[in-house]
A and B are shown apart, each in its own frame.
Chain A
Amino acid sequence: MKWTDMIAMSLSSLFKRKVRTLLTVAGVVIGTCAIVVMLSFGIGIKKTTDETMQSMGDLTVIQIENYNSSPDAEPLNDAMLERIRALPGVQTLTPMFDADFSAFQIRSGKYVYGGSVTGVYMDALSEFGYEVEEGKLPEGTVEEGAVLFGRDALYNFYNSKKNNNNMIYPEPDATGKIPDPYVNPMKDKLELVLQKTDENNKKTVKPVKLKALGILAQDWSKSPSPGYSVFMDVKYVRALTEQYNKLNNIKVDKSKKFQYSSVVVKALDIKSVEPVQDAIKALGFQTYSMDSMRESMEAQTRTIQMILGGLGAISLLVAALGITNTMIMSIYERTREIGVMKVLGCVIGNIRTMFLIEAGMIGFIGGVAGIAISYLLSFLLNTLAANGGGVMGLGGAGGQISIIPAWLALGALVFSTMVGLVSGFSPANRAVKISALTAIRQE
């Protein structure tokens, strides 16, 4: 028999029993819908979570906090940083060294900078994804006096000649415009002065000239945030601190070795985050990353997805029983027809194939309709969620709570067809075993 004929025969027998076919298909439709919609929730939740995480910070960044390291750990100094840099999966890293507020002052004429200064590896910034609004990010080694200003840090300059009302705030004024800060570091002269704690100190120190390389764009997902800080080369900041100590005769406890309190490490990709984190922990330091947070959230999402998918699977199982039942009924009804076909010379394989096509077709049609309805449901739910401000507390910022990617639709179609075929397998074999003689004797 030709394939086309077998398919035509199967379709015609499905079509002849419209109501039953429809009801059986409906079972598959419901099952497919249940699985697809449930999984689409899972995917939607995951995507929303991922987006939330992304907006909260770079997933590939690991922070090392040194406040609670084990006593026998080696100091977190530049040598150690080089060891961490050499770990597989590490892209780059930088310490975050907060300079002593009182040690020095940055000024431009009468305007004095009152914010914090952070010592970093200046050349690592571009790899961490910092961006400049003006100027450019440093590459390779930088001059000692190079500084990068955060956009909002510029508003930390105050007029030292005035006692009050001596600052500008980055807030819209009456005309709705945000006023310019006092200082434009790209144009104005900047210098750094070491502070003297004792006014009678006779030692004089020439102010150091600073050169602004650029102004960093605001990005609150970065740590350290370029918001309120000025970045300088960490070695230079430390050298300045030493000079300040010498100037003011401050004795430093030599037995206590220098350590960074905080370091940020960037992994090559998300996959490397976990091994890098583990390796750093093995060195005796505490780490923290968005990825570790993400893991727990993902585990939660997975659980939800599994529960939802399980519900869908159960309904499809019920649908599978429906298909088997329909096929068995159909074979009982058609025992005689099958017998006649056998007597007239229809080979067994063809009979089996026809019944399998029939069962597979129920699954396939159910799958197609189920996917179509799932897309509709998904659209309705998303519209509802967008208008109603989130169903079940999901889809926060207008996000989609239900997403059906192509692979899910395709997978569901293949799956429902497979369910049909598997359900039809035993009935089809039953049809094959019908004795031609008994069948035609049956009155």
Chain B
Amino acid sequence: MGLIRVENLRKVYRVDQEKIVALNRINLTVASGEVCCILGTSGSGKSTLLNIMAGLEKPSKGRVMIDDVEVTALSEKDLALFRQKNIGFVFQSYNLMPTLSAIENVAMPLMFRGISKDRRTREAVKMLRAVRLGNRLLHRPTQMSGGQQQRVGIARAFVAHPKIIFADEPTGNLDTKTTREVMEIMVGMAREYHETLILVTHDQDIARYADRIVTIVDGNIQSDHTNESVFPAQREKVQELTTVSGGKTE
């Protein structure tokens, strides 16, 4: 059984009289611990898929099950609690709180959970060290480079050790060198903590970091295959995981 099960998902936007089909009929199962890339061009529906999986948007038809909870049926309040416990986010534009320090930004998901300040600061410092920002603990986002900000974002996504981390074009605003750095950290952490990472991108190069690449074209899954080009160092792990998770279609 997969951790995430997307069943017959369909999303239609209505713009005036016109219907725009963003997602046609998506079926997808993602196993626990998988690093899965959803690859597609702009307008392919990949972001819509991510948003629906994360419970930020409601589908027109179909449903999303995460850990046997029907996410698409939850109320807004329950969704907030569900995200609090199970989901981490990495955004393209980082979305850090401009008025908070790196520590405070990273500790925020823990604060929402009601964890004491001492404990969450400790956790946040640990995460920031893990993303190699041990010397930027008290800096504000504006005092950091894009790559550093995104690393804070990654630390924030991982700090509460959620089951799933969604990353929507996490390197969209970064240069090539920083992109590599950030991707390595993010994928590395996902593997280290055995967390499921759903990566949405239009960039083939980034897709190479994933164990599995699902390509979406015009709201349909065009291809879904294990990544052959995963860097050799990660290769074994991926196969191991693939074997464990078992069911990969193609």
Contacts and interface: CB of A to CB of B under 8 A. Distances in A.
Q: Do A and B originate from a single complex?
A: yes
Interface of A: 1-2, 4-5, 12-13, 16, 336-337, 340-350, 436-437, 440, 443
Contacts of A346: 80, 84, 112
Interface of B: 51, 54, 56-57, 76-77, 80-85, 87, 89, 91, 93, 95, 97-100, 108-109, 111-114, 116-117, 156
A201 B216 CA distance: 142
Nearest to B166: A343
Contacts of A348: 76-77, 80
Contacts of B56: 343, 436-437
Nearest to A339: B95
Nearest to B83: A345
8 contacts: A1-B112, A16-B99, A342-B80, A344-B112, A345-B109, A350-B112, A437-B51, A440-B95
Contacts of A4: 117
B99 A343 contact: no
A360 B74 CA distance: 32
A399 B99 CA distance: 52
Contact of B97 (A2, A337, A443): A337
Contacts of B54: 343
A223 B8 CA distance: 100
Nearest to A442: B93
Contacts of A440: 91, 95
B91 A345 contact: no
A196 B123 CA distance: 115
A436 B91 CA distance: 13
A350 B112 CA distance: 9
A343 B82 CA distance: 10
Given A336-B95, A344-B89, A2 B108 contact: no
Nearest to B88: A344
A281 B6 CA distance: 91
B89 A12 contact: no
> Which of B77, B80, B84, B156: most chain A Cβ within 10 A?
B80
Nearest to A340: B95
Nearest to A349: B77
Contacts of B82: 345
Contacts of A349: 77
A436 B82 CA distance: 15
Contacts of B81: 345, 347
Given A12-B99, A13-B99, A345 B111 contact: no
A344 B108 contact: yes
B52 to A, nearest CB: 10
Contacts of A341: 108, 112
A341 B100 CA distance: 13
